[in-house]
Structure 1
């Protein structure tokens, strides 16, 4: 017979010690995960330190003119990234203008409209698009997309040419025979190819957040007489606002750093312009890819300085995206 401790004694008052230390397989998983996470931070920090160290001679020599000069002529001691930064932004913005609505609508269709037997197949296809190498997208954009994109650019110039963004200097959109070469190899053509690359990433983030919408709130909206679109507009979209913003910013970070597809499509031009339909532009990543092989030591330092600036921009964009996604609301008891 077990004797229970009397009230008021030390055995009754003394709290039990509960150890939070992981043991066995839990300890192995915890330490392995911590090591992997730390290695990612070490590698990222190492890349940043290496680029900063290599970029210091260029930044020390040119100062702020490195950020304000448009021309890239190392042989004439004229080096600047103002034009390529503008080209990087224009290609990325064109890409997101196409990718954002496609990613949002695709994510909504997969999570809310697609039949259950078809949903997993669509998810696999979207993920497969993200696994296609960028050079394939570049060849696809150069060979197939660019001729049709030139026709679309001509239509935009003809109807929206009064907006400086859609103006093409030196070209008459109403001419009997239009000059197709003025509308190819532009930021617009490159942005369409990049949009096909960033859309799967943005779609995956949005779909994952939409799938976590509490089913009770969705069923309550439908029970109150809401249509399916009304339920999506009042429940799913507000719930997934963080995922929409985060997925868009993650896609923007990918678009800013895309290299091969842009390098294959655009015609290099070091000019500060925002005419996205006009031939000629350049991005930081395409500049590095095109000049790296033949660069001298001084030119290599300048290219790495441009890469360091791009590294900081993409790091800030992706960090903000991770913060937004991490703060997005999540439901419980839902199917992924």
Structure 2
């Protein structure tokens, strides 16, 4: 076996010893390393500072109301009754509707771009999906309010007629079989807001999934084809198992975005502070939309309550994004897949 020559240097005594390898970065490498460390540390400091600020401002509210702050549905600071149970339920409802719509769209779009689209068409499709992520949220809110909501109301009526035995598709105090149906009972709901939010989180989830799918070992795909597998068979037996971490991570990253979406939800929903499973019925509220809608006119007590709600949302979003980042990093490594 051939070995590479060792670079030696003579010492003062005249003997020859191997040159010691230094791991200390020098020159441009040192500048780059220290710059990246400073940027990474600044991100952690800013995130930690935001959390500490919200926690400090939320402390008076949490001290005053205790656990009732998390179990009370009413938001009436003037009467000293404040709770986030209703807006937490609304936040979860809007995010759930958004992910039910966005997940299959993201997965199928990512699979088509990475496995089925012609090579010349892929850059264009990638650019179009990325362009969706650059559209301001207020544009999605206007699109949802003027275009989606009327059609979503008709879809909500159809869901109540056919699946009304499920609590998610029930609308109270309405007759779905009436000759003239009340349109106002089916708009401004978590269902309508979730449709708009789903279009906002889909590009993010799709980008993560597509990137992980593109790292699938080519040798395994060619081996599956050589054994007689169809293109769908390759996707099912090789691509999807390899990209499982990316699918989960991309979905959770989209969920973190859906939980914190503000402007689009504010434009669409009709505010109602209550916990209800009726997704297609008018009235809901989310944490972010409540903060945006009431921050300008809030007094000291209400401001502390709003910051406490924001602190809870901050912790939830931080936990979701952290778990997503861990899952994505493991998925990209190809763990569990033979190279």
Alignment partner, residue 192 of structure 1: 195
TM-superposed CA distance for 1:26, in Å, is 1.4
Q: Is the 8 A contact 1:58 1:302 kept in 2?
A: yes
Distance 2:14 2:21 in 1: 18
Distance 2:176 2:24 in 1: 72
Structure 2, gaps ≥5 residues long: 1-7, 335-339
Alignment partner, residue 33 of structure 1: 36
Equivalent residue for 1:207, pick from 203, 207, 210:
210
TM-superposed CA distance for 1:330, in Å, is 3.6
Q: The residue matched to 1:234 in structure 2 has which SS?
A: helix
Q: The residue matched to 2:121 in structure 1 has which SS?
A: helix
Equivalent residue for 1:76, pick from 68, 79, 89:
79
Alignment partner, residue 63 of structure 2: 60
Equivalent residue for 1:281, pick from 280, 284, 289:
284
Distance 2:137 2:38 in 1: 30
Q: Provide the aligned length of Structure 1 versus Structure 2.
A: 324
- Corresponding position: 1:122 with 2:121: no
TM-superposed CA distance for 1:329, in Å, is 4.0
- Pairs within 5 Å for 1:75-224: 75-224=78-227
Q: The residue matched to 2:272 in structure 1 has which SS?
A: coil
Q: TM-score under structure 2 normalisation?
A: 0.93
Distance 2:246 2:15 in 1: 52
CA deviations over 1:210-260 (Å, ceiling 9, x no partner): 000010000100110000001000000000000000000000000000000
Q: TM-score under structure 1 normalisation?
A: 0.94
Distance 2:36 2:260 in 1: 28
Alignment partner, residue 17 of structure 1: 20
Distance 1:207 1:83 in 2: 36
Runs of 4+ aligned structure 1 residues displaced above 6 Å come to none
Q: Is the 8 A contact 1:184 1:279 kept in 2?
A: yes
Cα RMSD over matched residues? Answer: 1.5
Structure 1, gaps ≥5 residues long: 332-336
